[in-house]
Amino acid sequence: MKRKTAGPVSQQNSGKIKKLEKLVERLNRIGVMLSAEKNTNNLIEMILKESMEIASCDGGSIYVRTEKDGMAYLKFQATRNLSREFPFKEFFLPVDTKSIAGYCAYSGDSFNFKSMDDVPGLLGIKYNDFFDKQINYKTCNMLVIPMKDFEGEIVGVLQLLNKKTDIGIRLDTIEDFCNYIVPFTREEEEIILSLASQTAILLERSKLMEDIEKLFDAFVESMVTTIEKRDPTTSGHSIRVARYIGKFAEAVNRTDYGKYKDLTFSEADIKELYYAGLLHDVGKIGVSESVLLKRDRLTPEELEVILYRIAYLKKELELKQVKGEIMPDEADLLGNLDEYARFISSINTKGFVTDEEQEKIRNVSSVQFTDINGMPGPLLTEHEVRNLTIKRGNLTEDERNQMNQHAAYTYQILKDIPWTKDLQEIPTIAAAHHEKLNGTGYPYRLTEERIPPQSKMLAIIDIFEALTAVDRPYKPAIPADKALKIIEEEVSRNSLDKDLYEIFLKEELYNTCLK
């Protein structure tokens, strides 16, 4: 008995097998791509593009289910058309039986319309050809697929329209629509349904990740705001720095000159920078309030004690004067006491003290008087002299060292957080924002090559924002031009990065920081 030949059939089967293998390979590749994508918008655009290519169709749209005012809606999220320019405009459809997409989301059924004339008979509604008329187009057939997650919940609707004999064909004329449009196959419907379900699960994952990220953002911002309430005078500083540093990164990305022309920050890098900016001063939680909240050289209570001593000494000398017992040097002192009180009050709030003023403070401290208990002592104590003669600022060396420790505390706090891979450099970036290129910064005295570029950027933003802030009750805001001169002085001392400052100037980032 001779066997029947299967040559032509085998070749046909072989062709189908190869086609199926390519499809499986493509679906696996798509699955990997979709699984790797974290951005919801990118995910939606990707699935729409791939679905159109698999089904060889001319157009498509994706609607995503959302809640609005307690009602279920479909948000028009994405659309593509290979033959027409379609102006995208976001809108919402109710999840009900009055539209094709709404009906699909409401029922959970898929629909393969071989002709749009079939819609009234199958759904009891008329196809709305408003968009077709708007772009001089004709929708001939449509595949409508519900996007269901693993629990069977509808998270969106995928619409594909006008399947073509070849995806490369452009539909320009009425004849094109008649000659090149063919029905969607049952096989394509099943493949797209499977792909849509996978996408629905990934959309839910992405939405969950976005919700977690929003929650994390809100938590971190709330934590920073709470910490800053320990020091109300700098409230809002960290949030502003975090927002400005992202603009700086975008400016560096645009730069085609200088040392940093090849430095590029990804979206993930900018997110990392945002958190580093937000948390750069979190270590202040470890600084004592007496140092953190110190606004003048002496506390109001300490100044009041000095003024009391002066007033007491004045009364004593006035009594001697009335009795005729005052000595010439005491008379001279009596004439100077009011001026001493004004001078000390003025020095207490000054940001900078001259050598002459320091010497005058020491002269005042040499004045001796006897208090109400008969105890002799100086008009100014060593503690008071030490604070009043601080050359610049209002912190003593010990207090300055305590304040400088906040950067080290920032690192210690942040390094114990289990950051994701994309955010793992946050502790290092945040903690180094007070380091200087010449190695004189703190907390670790890092030199230029050891300071991350992000920290160098953060240093410029941190200084400019602090100088120009309008909400500091202990000092007026410094005008931008003066703040830039101060930063230029730091650049000339090799404290701040010259090339990054040049970008800051050329890109006019100082205007961004003032908005």
CA 458 to the chain's CA centroid = 13
Amino acid, res. 7: G
Same domain, yes or no, for 66 and 148? yes
Q: What span, in angstroms and rounded, lies between the C-alpha atoms of 428 and 410?
A: 9
Asked, for residue 6, whether it belongs to a domain, the answer is: no
Task: Specify if 438 maps to a domain.
Answer: yes
* Cα 393 to Cα 56, 387, 466, 495, distances in angstroms: 71, 10, 14, 19
Q: What is the C-alpha separation between 314 and 133, in angstroms, rounded?
A: 95
33/179 Cα distance (integer angstroms): 34
Instruction: Note the helical H segments in 354-476.
Output: 355-365, 382-388, 397-415, 426-431, 453-468
DSSP 8-state code for residue 422: G
Total domains in the chain come to 3
User: Tell me: the pLDDT tens digits for 333-387?
Assistant: 999 999 999 999 999 998 889 999 999 999 999 998 887 788 888 999 999 999 9
Over 70: is that where the pLDDT of 46 sits? yes
- Asked whether the beta carbons of 160 and 142 are under 8 A apart, the reply is yes
Summarize the confidence of residues 160-165 as an average pLDDT: 95
Amino acid in position 272? E
Q: So what's the pLDDT on residue 4?
A: 43
Regarding whether 368 and 234 lie in a shared domain, the answer is no
Contact 154, 112 (CB under 8 A): no
Query: 75 and 200 in one domain?
Result: yes
**Long-range contacts of the stretch 162-165 (C-beta < 8 A, 24+):** 162/57, 162/58, 162/59, 163/55, 163/56, 163/57, 163/58, 163/188, 164/56, 164/57, 164/58, 165/56
Residue 219 within a domain: no
pTM above 0.75, yes or no: no
d(CA 155, CA 72): 11
Q: What's residue 246's pLDDT?
A: 94
Same domain? 413 vs 357: no
Q: What is the pLDDT of residue 227?
A: 78
- CATH number for the domain harbouring residue 124: 3.30.450.40
The answer on 304 and 272 residing in a single domain is: no
- Grade residue 314 by pLDDT with cuts at 50, 70 and 90: very high
d(CA 367, CA 411): 47
Q: Is residue 3 part of a domain?
A: no
Whether residues 93 and 138 fall in one domain: yes
Work out the pLDDT band at 5, boundaries 50, 70, 90. Answer: very low
For the chain, give the mean pLDDT. 87
Q: CB–CB of 206/474 below 8 Å?
A: no
Question: At which residue do the structure tokens 């992405």 appear?
Answer: 206
Phi, psi of 438 (to 5 degrees): -85, 5
Q: Both 62 and 138 in a single domain?
A: yes
What is the C-alpha to C-alpha distance for residues 425 and 266, in angstroms, rounded to an integer? Answer: 14
Q: Which of 364, 394, 424 is the last residue of a domain?
A: 394
Residue 181 inside a domain? The answer is yes
Is residue 163 a part of any domain in this protein? yes
Q: Is residue 411 part of a domain?
A: yes
Same domain, 344 and 480: no
Q: In this predicted model, what pLDDT tens digit does every residue of 406-422 receive, in sequence order?
A: 999 999 999 999 998 99
Please give the pLDDT value at position 3.
44
Mapped onto helix, strand or coil, the DSSP state of residue 142 is strand
Strand order in the sheet with 154-163: 92-94, 71-81, 57-68, 154-163, 142-148, 111-113
Ramachandran assignment for 371, one of left (phi > 0), alpha (psi -120 to 50 degrees), beta (any other):
beta
Last residue of one domain, picked from the residues 370, 394, 418: 394
How many other C-beta atoms can be found within 10 angstroms of the C-beta atom of residue 270?
17
What is the CB neighbour count within 10 angstroms for residue 17? 10
Cα distances from 207 to residues 66, 106, 122, in angstroms, run 11, 21, 33
In a domain, 69, yes or no: yes
Q: What pLDDT is stored for residue 351 in this prediction?
A: 84
Report how far residue 489's alpha carbon sits from residue 464's, in angstroms, rounded to the nearest whole number: 13
The radius of gyration computed from the CA coordinates of the chain, to the nearest angstrom, equals 37
Q: What CATH number did the domain enclosing 411 receive?
A: 1.10.3210.10
Pairwise CA distance, residues 387 & 305, whole Å: 14
Both 34 and 71 in one domain: the answer is yes
Last residue of a domain, one of 377, 394, 411: 394
If one counts every other C-beta atom within 10 angstroms of the C-beta of residue 400, the result is 15
Per-residue pLDDT of 214-223, as tens digits, reads 888 888 888 8
**What is the tens place of the pLDDT at every residue in 230-251?**
776 677 888 899 999 999 999 9
Please give the Cα distance from 449 to 458 (Å, whole number).
16
What pLDDT shows up at residue 372? 79
Same domain, 502 and 476: yes
Asked if 60 and 99 sit in the same domain, the reply is yes
Range of the domain at 26: 17-208
Asked whether residue 338 falls in the same domain as residue 411, the answer is no
Distance from C-alpha of 369 to C-alpha of 316, rounded to nearest angstrom = 9
Give the closest residue to 348 by CA, choosing from 380, 326, 322.
Answer: 380
Task: Give the least confident one: 34-48, 115-129, 158-172, 492-506.
Answer: 34-48
